[in-house]
Amino acid sequence: MRDFLKNVVATVAGLILFSVIGVGGLVILLITASLQAPRGPEVEKDSILVLDLGLNIQDSRALIGPGEALQQALEGPGQQSLSLLDVVDALEQASKDDRITGLYLKGAPGDMPTDYANLREVREALATFRETGKPIIAHDRDWSKREYYLASIATELSLAPLGAAVFNGLSAETAFLAGTFEQLGVGVQVVRMGAYKSAGEALVRREYSDENREQLQAYLGDVWADILDVASQQRSITPESLQTIADNQGILLAEEAVSQGVVDRLAESEEIRDRLRELSNISDADESFESVSLATYIQTLDPSQTQRGQMGSDRQIALVYAEGPIVDGEGELRQIGGDRLARQLRDLRVDDDVQAVVLRVNSPGGSAIASDVIKQELELLREEKPVIVSMGNMAASGGYWIAMAANEIIAQPNTLTGSIGVFSLSFNIEDLSETVGLSWDVVQTSDLANAQTISRPKTPQELAVLERFVNQIYQEFITEISTWRDLPLDQVQSVAQGRIWSGVAAENAGLVDRLGGLQTAIDLAAETAELGDDWTLQEYPQTRPFAERFLEDLFGSSTQVVLPEPLETLRQDMDTQLNELSTYNDPQGLYMRIPVQIHID
């Protein structure tokens, strides 16, 4: 028996030791791979800068999960995701870099994942690049609307002979889950303030309400007008002609795209390579042109030459990213945790090196309590130093709540903002319980003691209590906007009601101060704080070391079956809808946010 126990103990100890050594060795290997990644890549003379249109250009580089960190450590920086500021800086430097002779916008299968607001800022950087006289070559097998929005700035725009240009307007599509919940026996009750406050609508209806349809139509109209205007600026085609194409054709065959001025010419891939070899001064047809990807070029940037101020300055502009739904508590990756962001703003307030703060908001809103926690800290921050808000693709409802106390608010014309309203969401499983034979009983000391139960729908008395809370927060919402934005209360009331607005409409309504991108906000922060050129930019939250991020989620990877289209798209839409329900964690069940998901195509 003693020998048996000794063998068991020895085996267990061996397994533990093996695991520790194995995991430790793996971690060391990964860290070593990260440290041994090529440093300081060289850019050859007469190089072509390549911008892959399959890139997802996001607001920040800080939102990188452990899986992405692992891939970067083993393979070097990928080309699938880059930060907006890095891309803009790279294009600005490349325009003045004698080693770069041109830019290649390289088409990719499928559509671009980058949001329109970020595409607009990248396009403005491309326009600056074009003004230097350097050519921009854009080529794709098929042009989608997003790709064309960016590529229309090119000096030479081509399409494959068997390709097509899709230019059929915008549509918004939402998956409605009322029938699904009914089948499951799950009840949903929504209490809202604001005739246009459509959040929760997808859970209790089978189609858009008239008010929601109206606001979506207006918002899409503004975004589409921007696309028509921007896409026609460098093309021999008018916005009216593009609208005619969208109304009557939608998809242009290759020859039609040329004849109607949408593209300059048709070209095979080899013809494009010949053109790039010519720009790269390569005469040998068998030799490839000199090229550098945007991701690689970013690694070579000289920090002293970027638009991020002066290296070594002890006067800091803090750029804080607030991306994702607003949730109570700390939040997770790609969420705005109310406590976490408030703590970050508090740290910046007491940091004497920080002279101004730019808050980049890209959020549909969320928890009312968490939004207010953030806003209270922003008010205290503004008392100490200038605060400028830059709105990304979306800064709505709670996203607007956390922005309104800033000194100035800047949005892109196609930003989705507004949605000034409040709602409450309650679920119950009464019908499901009957189906599965589950019964409930309760003992209580007052009529409202069991108001939070999910065993039944809320009573009229309980709903009245919720309505009082929702109305109170809504009145506070519009009053705060009136105060911070210096607008008459009746004017705020007219643009509130939960209605969404484009950035250009929000500027007209007084909800934002001016139109522009992230760089506009940074420049304004430096000007407001009277920093001149003596400042440096620091981004928050700061990216943690790779090893720390990897260890945090060492065993967190998973595999997933990919369904054939269009089933995969439908599955992803449903996953998004259901996963976002997990962000509804306000302690009082009160929310400021836009509908669960609006898919715009």
Please list the active-site residues.
197, 397
Residue 437 tokens read as: 């034979």
How far, in Å, CA of 150 to CA of 34, rounded? 33
How far, in Å, CA of 246 to CA of 256, rounded? 13
Query: From the CB of residue 533, how many other CB atoms can be counted at a distance below 10 Å?
Result: 8
Burial (CB < 10 A; 0-12, 13-18, 19+), residue 37, is: middle
Q: How far is CA 325 from CA 116, 280, 585, in A?
A: 19, 46, 11
Residue with tokens 């922003």: 378
- φ and ψ at residue 391, rounded to 5 degrees: -90, 135
Burial (CB < 10 A; 0-12, 13-18, 19+), residue 536, is: middle
User: Which amino acid is residue 367, in one-letter code?
Assistant: S
| Residue 328 zone, left/alpha/beta (φ > 0; ψ -120 to 50; rest) | beta
How far, in Å, CA of 100 to CA of 164, rounded? 30
Asked if 142 and 165 count as a contact pair (C-beta separation under 8 A), the reply is yes
- φ and ψ at residue 39, rounded to 5 degrees: -105, 145
3-state DSSP call for residue 500?
Answer: strand
Contacts of 45 by beta carbon, 8 Å cutoff, 6+ apart:
99, 290
The CB-side HSE value for 239 (13 A sphere, CA atoms) comes to 8
- φ and ψ at residue 246, rounded to 5 degrees: -65, -40
Q: For residue 81, which of 97, 94, 69, 93 has the smallest C-alpha distance? A: 69
- B/e letters for 347-367, b = 16+ CB within 10 Å, e = fewer, are ebbeeeebbbbbbbbbbbbbb
How far, in Å, CA of 207 to CA of 451, rounded? 29
How far, in Å, CA of 277 to CA of 283, rounded? 7
Residue 137 tokens read as: 């070559």
- How many residues are there in the chain? 601
**Is residue 304 within a helix (H) or strand (E), and if so which, with residue range?**
none
How far, in Å, CA of 294 to CA of 49, rounded? 6
Residue 103 tokens read as: 């830019």
Residue 190 tokens read as: 């929504």
How far, in Å, CA of 11 to CA of 9, rounded? 5
Cα torsion for 474, 479, 485, 488, to the nearest 10°?
120
User: Which amino acid is residue 324, in one-letter code?
Assistant: G
Asked if 136 and 103 count as a contact pair (C-beta separation under 8 A), the reply is yes
Asked if 380 and 516 count as a contact pair (C-beta separation under 8 A), the reply is no
